Amino acid sequence: MALWIDRIIKPSETNEAPAASDQIRSDIAVVVTVLFALLLALGIRNQVYSASNTAMLDDGALRLAYPERWVARQGDESSFSAVNLGSASTYDARLEVTSRPLREGESLELARFDRGLKLASSLDSYRELEAAEMQVLNGVPALVATYAYVADPTHASGAPDLPVVVEGQDVMFVLGDRFYVVALTADATEWEAGARDFAIVTDSLRLTDAPARAPAPGFQGGSNTAEGGN
């Protein structure tokens, strides 16, 4: 065995050792090849993670993207859902999109309030954490509510796993005479890990901050006082 190892590592007696410059060029070529392979692998990985499919509601009135790896569950023309069956948690991250007609005299704010009441009455330990005014689809006013609740996804199967704290975010807006809710939910401990997938949905909605409102005419800051005095 030692003889065979010696033959493998010993330079060939019939071949001249490469010059130092040739050896450097060879090493550089190896490094470049390895770096190219790594960059190619990263590019393929990113392409896989950013790949998406398109869902449509109400005969194309709303189009949005969702991760290609998620399993779609098309409902009727006014509902759509997709689930990440590869989630690390027992609660699979998911997207649920619904729409309904606005009631007479109903505004976005009233529709959002009605949505909150329904969630509070149907979800265990529901709590709204934050609400913000934003925009979708290049200027359509939207309300975004972040909330949490407790789910027990394994209860139906009789498994002994603990309940899960779920974090959710509803993007709510009005198109025409219909109220739309785009709901993203995941295990709260996995929310950050799912940010890339959620961004596929919110980016397709072009979700952005609402522009700051200008102060009413004649408004002055509270620290300013009128000139003159006593």
Residue 22 domain flag:
no
Count: domains in the chain: 1
Residue 105 domain flag:
yes
Residue 153 domain flag:
yes
Backbone φ/ψ region at 176: left (φ over 0), alpha (ψ -120 to 50), beta: left
Q: How far apart are CA 130 and CA 37, in angstroms?
A: 44
Span 142-199, pLDDT tens digits: 999 999 999 988 766 666 678 999 999 999 999 999 999 999 999 999 999 999 999 9
Q: What's the rounded mean pLDDT across residues 40-48?
A: 47
Span 209-230, pLDDT tens digits: 988 766 555 544 444 444 444 4
- Domain that includes residue 163, residue range: 53-209
Identify which has the larger pLDDT, 129 or 21: 129
Residue 227 domain flag:
no
Domain harbouring 96, CATH code:
3.40.1000.10
Average pLDDT, the chain: 82
Q: How many angstroms from the chain centroid is the CA of residue 136? A: 15
Q: How far apart are CA 118 and CA 108, in angstroms?
A: 15
35: pLDDT strictly greater than 50: yes
Residue 219 domain flag:
no
Query: Is residue 87 within 8 Å of 186, Cβ to Cβ?
Result: yes
Residue 43 domain flag:
no
Residue 188 domain flag:
yes
CB-based burial label for 141 (10 Å; 0-12, 13-18, 19+):
middle
CB-based burial label for 88 (10 Å; 0-12, 13-18, 19+):
middle
- Residue 216 three-state SS: coil
Identify which has the larger pLDDT, 75 or 117: 117
Instruction: Indicate the length of the chain as a whole number.
Output: 230
34: pLDDT strictly greater than 70: no
Nearest one of 183, 155, 220, 16 to 94, comparing CA atoms: 183
Residue 101 domain flag:
yes
Backbone φ/ψ region at 60: left (φ over 0), alpha (ψ -120 to 50), beta: left
Starting at the edge strand that comes first in sequence, how are the strands of the sheet with 94-101 ordered? 71-74, 79-83, 94-101, 178-187, 164-175, 140-151, 124-136, 208-209
Structure confidence at residue 31 as a pLDDT band (50, 70, 90)? low
Indicate whether this model's pTM tops 0.85: no
